[in-house]
Every structure is written in structure tokens, then in C-alpha cells.
Amino acid sequence: MTGYTSANKDSSEQDSRMVRIRCKNIGETITVPFGSTLFEVFQTAAFEMPYGPVCAHVNNKTQGMNYRFYNNKDVNFLSLQHPSGMRTYTRTLFFVLAKAIEDLFPHGQLIIGAPVSRGYYCELKIGRAVQEADVTRISNRMQEIIDADMPIHRIQCPIEDAIAMFQKRGMTSKVQLLESQDDLYTYYYKLDASVDYFYGPLLTRTGMLHLFGLMPFYDGLLLRIPSEKDPSVLEAFVEQKKMLGVIREHQHWQDILKVRTVGEFNKAILAGYATDLINVSEALQAKKLSDIADDIARRKVRLVLIAGPSSSGKTTTAKRLAILMMACGLRPYTLSTDNYFVNREDTPKDKNGEYDFECIEALDTKLFNEQMNAILRGEEVELPRYDFPTGKRVYEGNKLKIGPTDIVILEGNHALNPILTQQIPDDQKYRLYVSALTTIQLDDHNLISTIDIRLVRRILRDFRFRGFSPVETIRRCPSVKAGEEKWIFPYQELADATFNSALLYELGVIKDRVLPILEQVPERAVEYAEATRLRKFLMYFRSVPGNQVPPTSLLREFAGGSSFKY
């Protein structure tokens, strides 16, 4: 109990019908009746929490506020400004949206898709085009449900009972998902007469949803959520037409393959179609990259700039693109922005006094522009190398001189930032944005986060090739995400092309490699909650043998066995 004071308890003996809760928010141990809910524990703890609590970490595992205590536990209550809290809030919005549509369009189908434009793109199939008046009616009905402050019940039952219930209601994607699981029991959520399945906790009442937005968005809807930084306002809308186009293109491919949800994926794997899924996924990705190479050759540019968030597969994309460009008659040279870091002592520091290697000022943009322009003029340039152990720029006689038809491929986090190449003419540049834009979903109302896919990739790569534990990788996640939000995502719509590095089958291959790594995260670690959440969603996937993954596959950058050198 070191570091905690005791409240409302006798230190000698406690009633066997009472449980002791160590509340990390206030640094005290409190005593509550056996069977108390998280909400009742919060009332006993009696402290203020803006925009919360919406859920909590109980023994470092995320639980909804209806969780009951039958043993002594550690608790950390979470607000809307915590990622787990925002996920809980967003899932509840999904349920309210689904209920509103069920009430207004009983035979309609809602498909909640990938995040785009700082919201969630949703398809609505009602037998005709969705009109603005329809969106207004749905939004009004959602508000009515919220204003009614309806209770949301979590109900556990044998999995066959849940399957029969969803089957009766025509909720096919949920039936397929649950049929492909090996669990004996499952749970579902009930809101008035509506039922649904979600793989994480929900709020306990609809009245806890204080803010949302719903607007027409191309041929569907855009569900908008509060800002994680300031939950009193909605996330600012950002036009991402190109990103939506890539997402819809991959959804079309999945419709052709009839594998759009995890239930359909598992059904295909169990039927023996794993090899077909691997081959088709790789072929589609190769074709897309080949089209990009053709476009580059047609435009006669001299500098290809490749950027994307962490673990999006930028390095392998650059290597594969170089090969395809050679097939187009070009001779590519690949460089990295990492070699243009300023010396360690000149690196800017963040608000915590730590070196900020993510900011654009950490790069010597003046030297970069001078050297790139010289290279493009056909002059010979001695390229620097950044020595990470010493934090110094060194020159080792590595010189580059290219011919009039040669091309430079530059890969790095800031490659699309106009500041990096501000002195290079636009007609000499081709911008390529790379990201793992996952479009396969658990079911119609449960999406798989692109951030989660990249995190799973990074955990696997960092553990196998960089010597980082899963705890270290998960712990660095917030700072990595903050850097991406500031320095990468704002420039993605500037790209001439966007390459989706996600592979339809990849989680089936990664699953058996990542699960043992995640199991190394100890329960006492704060990162245990995230590791548990990732393990849970990976368990939905049937395993796919990795021996048929081609050695040139982008997945090999993370899983190992690539024919490329990194």
C-alpha cells in the first residue's frame, strides 16, 4: 500500500462483505460494499473529473462503469480525454446512431467505416440515395435518444443464444463474427428494444453523450465526435477527399472478394482460401504500386517524396517502387531525410526539455535544399550520414551524381512538408503518401482502427529487430501519435498519390507472432490495458500461415523474412 493513505476503513479488520479499492486518481484506498459498481466507487471517492469518468482501468484493464467489484482491486478512472475513454464514448455514439436508423429505417443497413475528415464515414443502405433530409431526421432522432437518458445494459449469454438473436434480427455480419469464434459465452448490449455487439465497453446511459455531429458526406454520412484535446467542441472538419477515395477503392476490392468483415474473412480461411487471399491481396497492391511508377515516369519528375505515419511501410514501399521504376527505364537513387538531422546540440527541445526529433527544425532544410538542387542540376554532391550514437553529422566520401533521366527517391516523415523542399520547383517533385488504411471490419458496427494496425506492426518490428519491449513501444505511442498529428497528417492531401499499405490478410499472419509478445506485458504495468485490448481484437482473426507470404511483401518488413535489406 506504499504511497496510499487509507479512507473509510478500519486498518485491523474489514467486513467480509466489503472490498477495498485503491483509487489511483486520488492516491487513497477506499472501502465499498461487496458488488459495488465502478460508478458507485467513483461516488465514494468523491473527486471532480471533467468529462468523466466514462470508463476505468481496473487492475490495468479497461472496464465500463457498470463493472462490479467482488474482490480488492486497483482503479484508475478515465475521462473523455483518455484514448480508452474516447473509444468508449465513440462506440456508444455508434450504438445510438444504429438505433436511430433502426427506428427510422427498419430495413436499412448501417456500415460504420474508417475514420476520415476527423470523423467516421458511414454508409447507409435504404434502397435509395441518402438525402440531406434523411440525415437531419437521423440526427434529430439521435438527440431524442440522448435526451431521454436511456440506460444501456450489458448482457452476458451463451454464444449460441446471441447468434440466434442476431440471426433473427437479420444482423448477418454479427452472426458471421460470432460463429467464427470458439468462446462458450459472449455478451451484447441492449438499448430499449435495440441490441448490438461491441468489442469494448460502452457508456451506461445515453445522457452521458454530451456532443456529436452528423452531416451528409458524399454518398453517405459523416459522424463527428468531440475533440480529445477539448471535448467541449467537435473535432475540426478537414476535407480528405483523396483519403476517402483510397478507402472506397479498397472497399470495392473487398466487395469483389466478398471479404469485408472478419466473419467473412474467417469463413474464407476455414474454407481453405488463405492462399487465394494472400495472392490476390499482393497482386492488388503490386498493381497499385505499378500504376504509381507509371505515373511518375509519365510526369518526368526528378524527385519522389514518400511520407507516412510510423509503421506504414514507407521503407519497403520505396524499395519496391525503385524496382518498378527501373522497369519503366528509370534509374532511381534512394535517400533518407534522417541523414539531414542537425547535430544533437542544435536539436530543438520540447516542452519537457527533451530533444524533439519529430519537428521539422530537427532537420537541416537549408543544406537539404542546396544539395538536392545541386544533384538535380547534375552536380556531384558528397552526402552526409547522421551518426546516431554520437549525434553528429559525418562525411565519409559517399558521393552522388545523377544523369538527366535519373531520379531520386526520398523517404521520411517530413517528405511531404513544403518546408523541406521549398526551394525545389514543384514540377520536379512527385509526392506519395503511404499509410495502412485498414478497411476490413469486425462487423458492420465495429471497425478496426488504422492506428491499431500500425501499432501491432510496430510492436512486432521493434521487438524482433530493434530490441524494444512491447511495454516500451506502447509507452511511446502517445508521443509518436502527437508527432504524426502535427507533422504528417496535415500534408497527406498534398500527395499526388496515396498508397494503402494494409493487406487484407495481414492480421491473420501477424496474430500468432504478436500475441506471445503482448503476453509479456505484466499486469502491474500501465500498458497492460492496451496490450489486453490488442490481444482481444487479434483473437477475432483466424490464423493464416505465413510461409506463403512472398519475400517481397510489405508485411515482411515487420514479420521478417524479406528479400530486401533494411
pLDDT digits 0-9 by tens, 321-355: 999 999 999 999 999 898 999 999 999 988 888 88
pLDDT digits (tens, 9 = 90+) for 483-505: 899 999 999 999 999 999 999 99
**Average pLDDT in the 141-153 region?**
98
Q: For residue 15, what pLDDT band results from cuts at 50, 70 and 90?
A: low
Helix-strand-coil split of the chain, %, nearest 5? 40, 25, 35
Q: For residue 20, what pLDDT band results from cuts at 50, 70 and 90?
A: very high
Picking from 297, 315, 262, 264, the residue whose alpha carbon sits closest to that of residue 499 is: 315
Q: For residue 439, what pLDDT band results from cuts at 50, 70 and 90?
A: confident
- Provide the CATH number for the domain formed by 241-559 in this structure: 3.40.50.300
Query: Domain spanning 5-79: which superfamily?
Result: Beta-grasp domain (3.10.20.30)
**pLDDT higher at 249 or 158:** 158
* Cell, residue 13: 479488520
**Average pLDDT in the 52-72 region?**
97
Q: For residue 8, what pLDDT band results from cuts at 50, 70 and 90?
A: very low
Separation between Cα atoms, residue 398 and residue 384, nearest integer Å: 8
Q: For residue 252, what pLDDT band results from cuts at 50, 70 and 90?
A: confident
Q: Which CATH class is domain 84-224?
A: alpha beta
Q: For residue 528, what pLDDT band results from cuts at 50, 70 and 90?
A: very high
* Cell, residue 456: 501491432
Whole-number Cα distances in Å, 161 to 118, 170, 500, 542: 37, 14, 38, 22
Task: With a cut of 80, say whether residue 1 has pLDDT above it.
Answer: no
Task: With a cut of 90, say whether residue 430 has pLDDT above it.
Answer: yes
Picking from 335, 326, 329, 340, the residue whose alpha carbon sits closest to that of residue 304 is: 335
The amino acid at residue 208 is: M
Helices (H), 258-378: 262-270, 274-299, 314-327, 365-376
Q: What is the pLDDT of residue 354?
A: 83
* Cell, residue 8: 473509510
Taking the CA atoms of the chain, what radius of gyration do you get in angstroms? 26
Q: What is the pLDDT of residue 357?
A: 85
**Average pLDDT in the 52-81 region?**
97
pLDDT digits (tens, 9 = 90+) for 26-40: 999 999 999 999 999
Q: What is the pLDDT of residue 251?
A: 86
**Average pLDDT in the 234-254 region?**
90
Q: What is the pLDDT of residue 11?
A: 42
pLDDT digits (tens, 9 = 90+) for 154-182: 999 999 999 999 999 999 999 999 999 99
Q: Which run of H or E residues covers position 177?
A: helix 172-179
Separation between Cα atoms, residue 41 and residue 31, nearest integer Å: 9
* Cell, residue 205: 446511459
Q: For residue 149, what pLDDT band results from cuts at 50, 70 and 90?
A: very high
Q: What is the pLDDT of residue 16?
A: 64
Q: What percent of the chain has pLDDT over 70?
A: 97
Task: With a cut of 80, say whether residue 7 has pLDDT above it.
Answer: no
**Average pLDDT in the 521-550 region?**
95
Separation between Cα atoms, residue 54 and residue 60, nearest integer Å: 15
Task: With a cut of 80, say whether residue 14 has pLDDT above it.
Answer: no
* Cell, residue 430: 512527385
**Average pLDDT in the 300-312 region?**
95
Q: For residue 113, what pLDDT band results from cuts at 50, 70 and 90?
A: confident
Running DSSP on this structure, what letter comes out for residue 332?
A: E
Task: With a cut of 70, say whether residue 258 has pLDDT above it.
Answer: yes
**Average pLDDT in the 106-128 region?**
94
Whole-number average pLDDT of the chain: 93
**Average pLDDT in the 264-279 region?**
95
Q: What is the pLDDT of residue 356?
A: 87
Here the contacts of 163-172 (C-beta below 8 Å, separation 24 or greater) are 165/195, 166/195, 166/197, 169/195, 171/196, 171/443, 171/444
Helices (H), 363-443: 365-376
Task: With a cut of 80, say whether residue 6 has pLDDT above it.
Answer: no
Task: With a cut of 70, say whether residue 3 has pLDDT above it.
Answer: no
Q: What is the pLDDT of residue 256?
A: 83
* Cell, residue 566: 533494411
Q: What is the pLDDT of residue 209?
A: 98
User: Could you state, in order of their start, the residue ranges of all structural domains in the chain?
Assistant: 5-79, 84-224, 241-559
**pLDDT higher at 388 or 102:** 102
